[in-house]
Chain A
Amino acid sequence: MKRRDIFKGAVLGLALVGAGPALAQDTKVIGVAIPSATHGFMGGLNYHAQAAIERLEATYPQLDFVLATAGDAGKMVNDIEDMVATRNISALVVLPFESEPLTAPVQAVKDAGIWVTVVDRGLSVPNIEDLYVAGDNTGFGRVAGEYFAENLKSGDNVVVLRGIPTTLDNERVDAFTAAIEGTGINVLDMQHGNWNRDDAFNVMQDFLSKYDDIDAVWAADDDMAVGVLEAIDQAGRNDEMWVVGGAGMKEIIKRMMDGDPMLPVNVTYPPAQIATAIELTALGQVSPTPVSGRFIIGSQRITPENAEQYYFPDSPF
């Protein structure tokens, strides 16, 4: 069903490209540039972007959207240039593939008098964007760390799986480390699982061979948590430790709702933040409502009790 809708979207997109210049006088066009759905989180982000656009096009007939997904920074720059040159956009919502290469092109868009909303990854020069919407990476690490601090005793042992080496990953890990500082909890080891199930599975297998006593695992991401849980299961050490993932993947949230004792909590880092950004940008375009500034979406703790409100069975993530 959904895949068929993608084709429909593509046909609609082509039709809009044809009709674009004629409509330009009456309607405002909002360009949305995001990375393509290469892994779970981005898949969810793509889903929420399309859902928000559908919703807004139905609500505001005077708004048109052009959505472009890019597999690398270069393609994203091309997409943005095309939007400005051929679609006469009046606002741009962009999740920069990488900060550095996107900074100058987005600056050029801004200089052309177009509203710029930046999502999740900041640009390398401050104050280009009119609106900045992002998840809270520091909060993401802190909220997880606080749970560890509350539920482990001094002398308990923890292993950590890190993501792909990036500043984002560093912010999370630093905040986690700060939150458990002074509690006497030992971090036995930290290795990169690259936000990937298979890598996390291998790393966790090795942690389990190496350490006889592990009380908890911070998997820092739900894809990694899947690999970690499988490795623990294989070693038959399910009763010994619990696992905290992150970002609220639907399979993990479902297991929490079913009361899995190995998954006591989760921390949000919603891919739906793109919807927040698109909605706010649209609001600014159709009304005098002020929407400039910074909008940081807090990282919340998901528990088995409130898990239901974070469960999106239709989202791919």
Chain B
Amino acid sequence: MTDTTTQTNETGARRHGISLHVLGPLLALIVLIVLGASLNSNFLSYGNVTNVLARSAFIGIIAVGMTFVITAGGIDLSVGSMAAFIAGVMIMAMNAMIPTLGIGVPLVLAGMAVALVTGLAAGLLNGFLIAKVGIEAFIVTLGSMGIYRSLTTWLADGGTLSLNYDARSFYRPVYYDGILGVAWPIIVFALVAILGELAMRKTPFGRHCAALGANEQVAKYSAVKVDRVRMATYVLLGMLVGVATIMYVPRLGSASGSTGVLWELEAIAAVIIGGTVLKGGYGRVWGTVVGVLILSLIDNILNLASIVSPYLNGAIQGVIVILAVVLQREGKPAE
């Protein structure tokens, strides 16, 4: 029921035109862009914009999946270490397949398949334990966070897993090249975001996620297959972590125990900055995209400007994250 009320508020707000609730994150993003442009003339250069968007892609693709999980009232803390684990498995699989497949398109496609299947399996495992066995999402994913992290360290024998040099050179363009000057990670991120937005707004799956997050009992009585929807959100997220890893591996061609550290918190922060409700029931994929861009722009601007001591970078990030959320809460009627 809460679900329907929020929806009404949302449509109501939109009818009135401007609402801070909706525009908050967008305003914060615009302020950051103006700030960046005024601090450094290279900020809006093609190179810098490409850099920022491409490096946002990993967290961004994951955060789109996280939007569904959080909308359905769940949480997934394991995505950062899952990304490291998938990257490790993918690198080891590709290295092992070089003798049979040779270096070329089949090898890269096989590597991508391994990443997607590993992601799917990891998501399925999380989803099964949460939806079918009925353990708290926080605990399940806290556990799998530790498991994937140490499995990665173990696979790498405490060091770093590196992709074979020639295979890496062949695979490298997947991160660095693109079509018409738009890098592949940006294209993939955009596609994932558009499909995610459509799925959230236009499909029964999106509505079921919101219904489930708003009130599980009501959703159940409304013939929503609660378990299946919940499981599907984790599987979707797992697969998107796989997609993110496919874009990540060609960048540095390596994975170690320190890959993807704290990605889960960045993804969750991006989702919340974007206006999705942490306790579930309402999700906004385009907001998540804005949230991701805000987070990477903060880093970028701090590096480009170097006006404050680098020791304070974390504090400034924290302040901006909280401000962005305060800004959007202002227009929201008290509940």
Contact = CB atoms under 8 A, between A and B. Distances in A.
Contacts of B45: 209
B304 interface: yes
Nearest to B160: A40
B198 to A, nearest CB: 31
Interface string B151-182: 00110111110100000000000001000000
Contact of A205 (B51, B153, B254, B306): B51
A2 B157 contact: yes
Contacts of B157: 2-3, 37, 43, 47, 316
A205 B55 contact: yes
Given A202-B55, A203-B303, A210-B303, A44 B257 contact: no
A13 to B, nearest CB: 16
B158 A46 contact: yes
Contacts of A145: none
Contact of A209 (B51, B55, B254, B257): B51
B310 A37 contact: no
B95 interface: no
A301 interface: no
- Size bracket, chain B contacts: 20 to 34
A234 B176 contact: yes
Interface string A250-294: 010000000000000000000000000000000000000000000
Nearest to A204: B303
Q: How large is the interface on A (under 10, 10 to 19, 20 to 34, 35 or more residues)?
A: 35 or more
Interface string A199-232: 0011101111110000000000001001100100
Interface stretch (A17-25, A89-97, A134-142, A184-192): A184-192
B154 A206 contact: no
- Pairs A-B, 3 closest by C-beta atoms: A316-B159, A37-B158, A43-B158
Interface of B: 40, 42-43, 45, 47-48, 51, 55, 153-154, 156-160, 162, 176, 251-252, 254, 256-259, 261, 299-300, 303-304, 306, 310-311, 313
Given A192-B313, A209-B304, 15 more contacts: A36-B153, A37-B159, A38-B257, A39-B258, A40-B160, A40-B258, A42-B158, A43-B156, A197-B256, A201-B55, A202-B299, A206-B51, A234-B176, A315-B159, A316-B158
19 contacts: A3-B154, A38-B153, A40-B256, A43-B156, A43-B157, A43-B158, A162-B310, A191-B306, A198-B259, A201-B55, A209-B42, A209-B47, A209-B51, A226-B254, A230-B252, A235-B47, A251-B160, A251-B162, A316-B156
Interface of A: 2-3, 36-40, 42-44, 46-47, 162, 165, 189-192, 196-198, 201-203, 205-210, 223, 226-227, 230, 234-235, 251, 315-317
